[in-house]
Structure formats: C-alpha cells, structure tokens
Amino acid sequence: MDGTLVDTEPYWIETEFALAAEYDGKWSRELAMELVGNDLITSGRFIRRHMGIDLTPEEIVQRLLDGVVARVRHEVPWRPGARELLESLRVEGVPCALVTMSYERFVAPILAHLPAGSFRAVVTGDSVTRGKPDPEPYLTAARLLAVDPAACVAIEDSGPGATSAAAAGCPVLVVPHYVDVPPGPGRAFRETLVGVTPFDLGLLPDRDLPQRDLR
C-alpha cells in the first residue's frame, strides 16, 4: 500500500519528526528511509533505539498511527496509475489482495475511498506473525485468494516487500519510489504504473525473463 498504491511516506516522516521534537529525540531523513517497507514493530524498535526516546516500540507505533491516520483522513495521496490499474483488474475479474505492513486502522480510511470489491483479501501488519521481508504476508494473501503464489503478481516499491513476495513464490513488479530496490530473481522493474494493464502483468510469470522491463 504505502509507496505503491498511496504516497503516504511523507506522512510517516512528518509524524516521526514530530515525535522526535516532542520527546527531544534525534532523527533524520536518512534514518526515516531505512524504515521504508518494514513492519511497524520493527520500525518502532528502530525508532526507540535511534531516536532515543522513552517509549516502548508498541507505544511508538500507536503514536505514529495516530499522526498518519489523521493526515490520511484529510487527504489520500494516490500514486500515479495505481487506481487505474486496480480498476482495470476489478473489471477483468482478477482477484486482488492488499498486502501491507500498516495496521488495519490506517488501512480502513484508504479502502473507504476505493470501489467496493477492489480487494478480495486484505493482509495487514497486525494480522500476521512475521512481517515483510518474511514471506508470510504474501503466502497469507495467496491462501485467502485460494490461488498458488506462483500464479500471482506482487507489485512492490521496497526491498523488504520485494523480498517477501519473491520468497513466497510470486513474480514481482517493482516500482521504486523513495528507496532503490536491487535486481533479483523474479523481479521486473518499471518507473511508474501509468499505462500498465492486466495483460502486462500476465507476462511476469515467464521465469525465462525475470528481469523484463515493461517500459
């Protein structure tokens, strides 16, 4: 979701800096970029260690969610081409799952802006035991859709997310945004989702061309 469907990373960063200012902690954009794609508790531990504030990782996560949810209720910043591709998949009857390390209470207001049925399954960070880069989130999504992970295509913007999807057996379309994602088996790259069609996604399971660029 974050960085692929919506561009909420600035909301997270603003909230992190606000938290640091409130508790006289230390923070930087470089540190913030290290959190992209990680599950929230891992991020909470990282923030506690590097920001130097006296809150538990769980308390940090809840404070971050408070700030980001308030911002997203005001405005949802969609990524270029994401809603259009999602609508095309819905029209074609392709079952889709949202796989995000954000928690359900942050996901809900975003889903409320999409047509009913856009996602047949939703996997959030608070619904799995092991978050990205572990394969559990994508394996869970495939199970909920009742499909083989190899028959799915994952769309990701981060290294942890691409690693999670590939480890689950999904071909991955990587659309980097804030952080670079290295090449790897089963990964194709594109600069944007603008113009990507369901047919394009159907090319990705061809493992003879794991690095194929759809541009």
This prediction's pTM: 0.82
Tens of pLDDT along 135-146? 999 999 999 999
> What span, in angstroms and rounded, lies between the C-alpha atoms of 205 and 58?
38
SS3 28: coil
Structural domains of the chain sorted by starting position, each given as residue range(s) with its CATH number in brackets: 9-74 (1.10.150), 82-202 (3.40.50.1000)
CB 174 within 8 A of CB 156: yes
SS3 50: helix
Nearest of 164, 156, 102 to residue 135 by alpha carbon: 164
Instruction: Give the E-state strand segments of the chain in sequence order.
Output: 97-99, 121-123, 154-156, 172-174, 187-189
Closest C-alpha to 95, from 139, 134, 136, 153: 153
pLDDT of residue 205: 58
- Identify the pLDDT of residue 94: 96
Burial of 2 (0-12, 13-18, 19+ CB in 10 A): buried
Whether the ω angle into residue 133 lies within 30 degrees of 0, i.e. cis, is yes
- Can you name the residues that pair with 122 across neighbouring β-strands? 98
The confidence score (pLDDT) of residue 206 equals 57
Could you say which residues of the chain have pLDDT below 70? 205-215
* Run of H or E including 204: none
The predicted pLDDT at position 74 comes to: 87
Cα separation values, 126 from 67, 68, 110, 164, 213, Å: 18, 16, 16, 16, 33
68: helix, strand or coil:
helix
The pLDDT score that the predictor gives to residue 178 is: 86
Identify the CA nearest to 103 among candidates 115, 95, 111, 114.
111
Q: What is the pLDDT of residue 213?
A: 44
